[in-house]
Structure 1
Amino acid sequence: MKFRPCIDIHNGKVKQIVGGSLLDKGDYAQDNFVSEKDGDFYAKLYKDAGLEGGHIILLNPAGSQYYEEDVRQACLALSAYPGGLQIGGGMTAENAAFFLEQGASHIIVTSYVFKDGKINYENLEKIVAVTGKEHLVLDLSCRKKGEDYYIVTDRWQKFTDVKLTEDVLSELADYCDEFLVHAVDVEGKAGGIEEDIAALLGNWDGISVTYAGGVSSFEDLRKLKELGRNKVDVTIGSALDLFGGEMPFSKVLEEINF
């Protein structure tokens, strides 16, 4: 298990939000924390701590009045830690090269690849042609419907018809370097992890996977380590003291053998 830090950007600010609250209409989200610091502050912090493979997520759509400011914040972070951070949120075959040139190590993509509820292999192959498999992360963020977890798109607002299963992980692993999985129903709530998702990811053997969502304590961290068989990496957001939470950043680094 490794610690993968995050820089979430919404309405031009580094934030932590309740994941399931995002709405494109009115650029709304329920905020947990709004930072007064720019993206490069966090990027430098992560660089100084020797943390690699963290992610920047742009939480406004490209048509939003805030999108350009989101991108500016992201570019500040990327320039402060070139090659050390991944970026996602509105990524396509058309803009992926720009963000790689700005210093992103990987492009994180969901909505461009999951269209009309299905896996769009044409778009998947298009973006792989731009980034290369080695610079692509597929974000398989999911929400529960019935007894299953379904991949969600468009800033987690739309359900696809694709269930998160070991078979789907194995199928998509041929196209990317890593997976990122936000457990959206618990994202930003700091109320505990989605144990079923953690166990699914831990049972699967393949490329690197990062789990995000609900980690609120060191007990949650230990539970994820156990269920994920110590091979699933973790992102902690709202619970970190950096973002107004109660888990000291320094202690998290001590706890996780990264």
Structure 2
Amino acid sequence: MILYPAIDLKDGQAVRLVHGDMDRSTVFNDDPAAQARSFVEAGCEWLHLVDLNGAFAGTPVNAAPVEAILKACKVPAQLGGGIRDMATIEGWLDKGLARVILGTVAVENPDLVREAAKAFPGQVAVGIDARGGRVATKGWATETDVMVTDLAKSFEDAGVAAIIYTDIMRDGAMGGPNIEATADLARAVSIPVIASGGVSSLDDLIALKQTGVIEGAISGRALYDGALDLKAALSALAP
């Protein structure tokens, strides 16, 4: 199972939110590229980046720090937030991003997801963020009537590289991930599922791995707070 250290970008800084609330942000590093380098030096194989401002604006806002991270680090990185058209997808992949994460458009324009996944095999993931099993969009500000499993299943034949499933009420709260819901989703689809939201301890990671069906996990606040030691986590997750 792959551990993805998270770097959430707001106003050019690396921050963490609680329950996706932009007004409840904590700045952990004003140099996101330096933060990324520290994760890579600890041995991570991937980086997970989120343009928080972009998620609300619907267009990239934190392009400069993302580009700085891509230049500073040689491990692959995936990015979500504000990626809602083909030109933006192409632009990011041309700049060296390994994978784009499409969230809001997966609900509003699923044909774009299919088109992008066909054009860029292995480089398009779907981000499914949910409260109570229902998908939320636009930086988690808008709740829909779409059910998580239904949305995931609709992309079974699209060639999507991964589904990143976030339980919003667990995110940034250090209360542990929703293992049951994530595992249920992973069993319901053939697309690899990555867990996000609430991953806050080594025990959480081991429990996710022991499901046998979850491909990866994203952790942010726990790595910044020191509740989760990255080197120890990577060692525990090694094959």
What TM bracket, shorter-length normalisation?
A: 0.7 to 0.9
TM-score by length of 2: 0.87
Query: 177, 188, 194: which one pairs with 2:172?
Result: 188
> What is the RMSD of the two structures over their aligned residues, measured on CA atoms?
2.4
Give the 3 Å change call, closer, same or farther, for CA 97–185 of structure 1 in structure 2: same
TM-score by length of 1: 0.81
- Please report how far the alpha carbon of residue 49 of structure 1 lies from its aligned counterpart in structure 2 after TM superposition: 4.1
Query: 23, 30, 35: which one pairs with 2:24?
Result: 30
Give the 3 Å change call, closer, same or farther, for CA 62–217 of structure 1 in structure 2: closer
Unaligned runs of 5+ in 2: none
- 1:8-63 CA-to-partner distances (Å, cap 9, x unmatched) read 10122111111332xxxxxx3312x3123422223323433443333110000378
| 1:216 paired to 2:216 | no
Q: 2:100 aligns to what?
A: 107
| 1:16 paired to 2:16 | yes
- Please report how far the alpha carbon of residue 207 of structure 1 lies from its aligned counterpart in structure 2 after TM superposition: 2.6
* Counterpart secondary structure, 1:5: strand
Query: 110, 113, 116: which one pairs with 1:124?
Result: 113
Q: 1:24 aligns to what?
A: none
* Counterpart secondary structure, 2:170: coil
| 1:197 paired to 2:197 | no
Aligned residues: 236
Q: 1:53 aligns to what?
A: 46
- Please report how far the alpha carbon of residue 197 of structure 1 lies from its aligned counterpart in structure 2 after TM superposition: 1.5
Q: Are the equivalent residues in 2 in contact too, given 1:6–1:236 (CA < 8 A)?
A: yes
| 1:246 paired to 2:227 | yes
What amino acid is the match of 2:155? L
* More displaced stretch, 186-195 vs 247-256: 247-256
Q: Are the equivalent residues in 2 in contact too, given 1:20–1:156 (CA < 8 A)?
A: yes
Give the 3 Å change call, closer, same or farther, for CA 215–36 of structure 1 in structure 2: closer
* Counterpart secondary structure, 1:40: helix
Aligned-residue sequence identity (percent) comes to: 24
Unaligned runs of 5+ in 1: 22-27
Q: 1:234 aligns to what?
A: 217
* Counterpart secondary structure, 2:221: coil
What amino acid is the match of 1:143? R
Q: Are the equivalent residues in 1 in contact too, given 2:183–2:213 (CA < 8 A)?
A: no
Query: 55, 76, 84: which one pairs with 2:76?
Result: 84
* Counterpart secondary structure, 2:50: strand
Give the 3 Å change call, closer, same or farther, for CA 173–46 of structure 1 in structure 2: farther
Q: 2:55 and 2:153 mapped to 1: Cα distance?
A: 31
